[in-house]
Structure 1
Amino acid sequence: MGIKDFLTEKIKKVSSTKKDIKENLWSKCSHCGEISYCQEIEDNFQCCPKCDFHFPVSALQKIGFITDENTFTEFDSGIRSLDPLKFRDSKKYPDRIKAAVRKTGINDAFISGVGAVNGREVNIGAFEFAFLGGSMGSVVGEKITRLVENGIHHGRHVVTISCSGGARMQESILSLMQMAKTSAALTKLKKEGLGHISLLTDPTTGGVTASYAMLGDIIIAEPGSLICFAGPRVIEQTIRQKLPEGFQRAEFLQEHGMVDFVSHRRDWKNNIHTVLDFFGKQ
C-alpha cells in the first residue's frame, strides 16, 4: 500500500469514528426540534430537557422507572401465541410472531412480574409497543389475568402500564374475549380489597382502553399521551367535524375527569408509592 492509499484509509477511519461519536452524543427532539446531549435525555428519564416531550421507551424501561433497582422478577415469560384461526394477511400470523420475537427479544407484548416500589412489593406489568403494536391477544390477556390472580394470592396491589394499539386483529374474537377476561379478574381483585393502579402511556387505544386500562382505582397518564378507543382521525371522518385542540390527549382527559392526574416519568415512582400507601395493606 502506498503512502497516499494509507493516508486515505486513515482519513476514512477518523471520519467514520467522528460520525459515530457525533451520532451517539446528540439527539434531536421530534416534538420541539431542539438538539440535546443523549446523556441529558437519559438523566431526564428519556424526556427532552428542553420541552419535556416523553420519548418512546420499552416496557422494561418503564418498569425500571417505577421499581427499585434489581427487584423485578418476571412471570410467565415463556408463553407464546398459537394460531388457532390460521390467520393470514400479507404474511402468516406465526411468521409475524417470530419476527416480533426476534425484534424485541420477548415472547409477546406484555411483560409481567413482581417488584418493589420504595421497598414495598407490588405486582406490575407493562406493554411492549414494539411487539406488534402492543396489541392484546390471548397471551397478553392471560398474562394480565395471571398477574392479577397472583396479586390476589399474595395480597399485593397491581400496577399496569398500558401502551397499545388495541385488540390483535389476527386473533379476532379470541382477542376481544380478553377484554372481558381481564376486567373480570380486576373485579375479583377489588372484592379482595386490593388496588389497581393503571398507568396510561402513549398510545393507549382500542380494546385495551375499553377494558382493564380504564378500570384502575387510580388512573395516571403520561404527559401528552394519546388515550382513546377510536382515534381522532377516525372520529373526524365519521362525524365530519374538526375536533378540539388536544382532544384525547392526557391533559384533555384529566380536564374532563377521565384520568385522575398526569405525571412526568420522574415522578411515577413516588406518586405510585403514595397511592400504594393510600391503599394500605390487605
Structure 2
Amino acid sequence: MNWITNYVRPRINSIFSRRETPDNLWTKCEECGTMLFHRELSENLNVCSNCDHHMAITPRDRFLALFDGGIFSEVAVPAPVMDPLNFRDQKKYPDRMKAAQKATGEEEAMLVATGEIGRTPIVAAAQDFSFMAGSMGMYVGNAIIAAAQEAVKLRRPLILFSAAGGARMQEGILSLMQMPRTTVAVEMLKEAGLPYIVVLTHPTTGGVTASYAMLGDVHIAEPNALICFAGPRVIEQTIREKLPEGFQRAEYLLDHGMLDRVTNRTKMRDELIGITRMLLGMPPPVAGELPAPEPSGVSEKPAEAEAPDGSDASKA
C-alpha cells in the first residue's frame, strides 16, 4: 500500500462520482419563511403546508392537477399581429415577448384546454401571471373567444382561471378592445345556456376585473387573492385615507357580496366538479376513482327485451 492507493485513487473516484445537488430543492415561503421541499410543495399544488399561503402556479401545472388523470387537449388560439404599434420602452416589445417565452416555455399568457373533471367534460382557460404579469393583450382576447366557441361547439361549460396585472400597455388601445370582445364571448355562452365559472387567483386586477373575470355565473377565489380594478396603494393616494384591513382581498370581497366562495387550491377540483354538475343538472359526483357500483341483482349481460305481451321481442 502506498500514497497512490491510499490517497490519489480515492480522490479521483470521489471527483468522478460526485453528484451535483440541484439549487432548487427547497423553496422559501414568502409569507412565513418556512423552507419547503420542492416535491412536497408540488404535490400540495404550491400551497404552503405551514401557513396555507398560495404561491403562483402555472396553467399547465394547474391543468395537470385539475383534469382527470392529468389528461387534456390544448385548443388552438389564432395568433394576432405581432407588435402592431412598434412599441418600445427600455426594450422592444418583440424582445420582451421572446424573454417571456423563454422564461415560461409558453407561447403566451393564456392556455386553453378541453378534458374531463370528475368525468364531466369541460373547457378550461387559465392565465399565466409569470408571462408579462398575465397582461391582457390581443392573444388573451383571442384565447377567451376560442375557449367560448369551443365550449359552444362541444356543449360544455367553461371554467376560467384569471391572474393578471391588467391590460398590456405595449398594445395600447388594442389591448383595451379585448374587454368588449371577451364580454361578447361570455354572452355567447349565456345565449347557449352553458355555465361560465370564474376562479379568481392572486392577483386579478385592472381591465380584467372590468370584463370577463367578473361576468361568471359563479365566482370562486383562492384565499387572500388580491382582486381589484385599481390597487389599494392608488386608492389610498387618491382619497388620502387609510383603507380597512384586508381591503380588496378575497375574504373581504366575500363578506361584501362580490364573491360566492373562497376555496383552498387543494380543494378546488372537488368544488368545481360539484358546482359544474349542479349547474348542468347532473347527479352528484361519485367519490373515488372507481365507477359507481352496479345495483344489486343486475346481471353482467343485458336482459333480453320483452314485448308487451310477455313474448321475446328479439324473436318477433
TM-score (norm 1): 0.90
Please give the alpha-carbon distance, in whole angstroms, between the structure 2 residues aligned to 1:115 and 1:265.
19
1:71 maps to 2:87: no
1:182 maps to 2:182: yes
Name 1:223's counterpart in structure 2.
Answer: 223
Name 1:43's counterpart in structure 2.
Answer: 43
Q: How does 1:1-282 map to 2 (within 5 A)?
A: 7=11, 10=14, 17=20, 20=21, 23-76=23-76, 79=79, 81-280=81-280
Please give the alpha-carbon distance, in whole angstroms, between the structure 1 residues aligned to 2:133 and 2:17.
38
Please give the alpha-carbon distance, in whole angstroms, between the structure 1 residues aligned to 2:219 and 2:148.
17
Question: How many positions carry a matched residue from both structures?
Answer: 277
Deviations 1:194-233 (A, max 9, x none): 0100001111110111110011100000111111111111
Tell me, yes or no, if the aligned pair for 1:227 and 1:249 is still in contact at 8 Å. yes
Name 2:287's counterpart in structure 1.
Answer: none
Please give the alpha-carbon distance, in whole angstroms, between the structure 1 residues aligned to 2:38 and 2:87.
42
Deviations 1:11-64 (A, max 9, x none): 8996x84xx36x554332110122333333233222111111111111111222
Name 2:300's counterpart in structure 1.
Answer: none
AA of the residue aligned to 2:173: I
Please give the alpha-carbon distance, in whole angstroms, between the structure 1 residues aligned to 2:216 and 2:143.
17
AA of the residue aligned to 2:133: G
Shift in CA distance, 92/38, structure 1 to aligned 2, threshold 3 Å: closer
Tell me, yes or no, if the aligned pair for 1:63 and 1:125 is still in contact at 8 Å. no
User: What SS does the corresponding residue of 1:69 show, helix, strand or coil?
Assistant: helix
Tell me, yes or no, if the aligned pair for 2:54 and 2:223 is still in contact at 8 Å. yes
Please give the alpha-carbon distance, in whole angstroms, between the structure 2 residues aligned to 1:71 and 1:38.
23
AA of the residue aligned to 1:244: P
Shift in CA distance, 26/170, structure 1 to aligned 2, threshold 3 Å: closer
Higher mean displacement: 167-176 or 69-78? 69-78
Tell me, yes or no, if the aligned pair for 2:77 and 2:143 is still in contact at 8 Å. no
Tell me, yes or no, if the aligned pair for 2:45 and 2:266 is still in contact at 8 Å. yes
Shift in CA distance, 257/8, structure 1 to aligned 2, threshold 3 Å: farther
Please give the alpha-carbon distance, in whole angstroms, between the structure 2 residues aligned to 1:38 and 1:210.
36
Tell me, yes or no, if the aligned pair for 2:163 and 2:202 is still in contact at 8 Å. yes
Deviations 1:90-141 (A, max 9, x none): 1111111122112222211000021111111101010011111100101110
Please give the alpha-carbon distance, in whole angstroms, between the structure 1 residues aligned to 2:215 and 2:182.
10
Tell me, yes or no, if the aligned pair for 1:169 and 1:175 is still in contact at 8 Å. yes
Please give the alpha-carbon distance, in whole angstroms, between the structure 1 residues aligned to 2:17 and 2:250.
47
AA of the residue aligned to 1:187: E
Shift of residue 280 of structure 1? 1.0
Tell me, yes or no, if the aligned pair for 1:79 and 1:107 is still in contact at 8 Å. no
Shift of residue 71 of structure 1? 2.5
AA of the residue aligned to 2:51: C
Higher mean displacement: 97-106 or 248-257? 97-106
Please identify the structure whose Cα radius of gyration is greater: 2
Deviations 1:137-181 (A, max 9, x none): 011101101110111111110000011111100111100000100
Please give the alpha-carbon distance, in whole angstroms, between the structure 2 residues aligned to 1:140 and 1:80.
10
Please give the alpha-carbon distance, in whole angstroms, between the structure 2 residues aligned to 1:192 and 1:241.
45
Tell me, yes or no, if the aligned pair for 1:104 and 1:130 is still in contact at 8 Å. yes
Gaps of 5+ in 1: none
Structure with the larger helix share: 1
Please give the alpha-carbon distance, in whole angstroms, between the structure 1 residues aligned to 2:179 and 2:229.
13
Gaps of 5+ in 2: 283-316
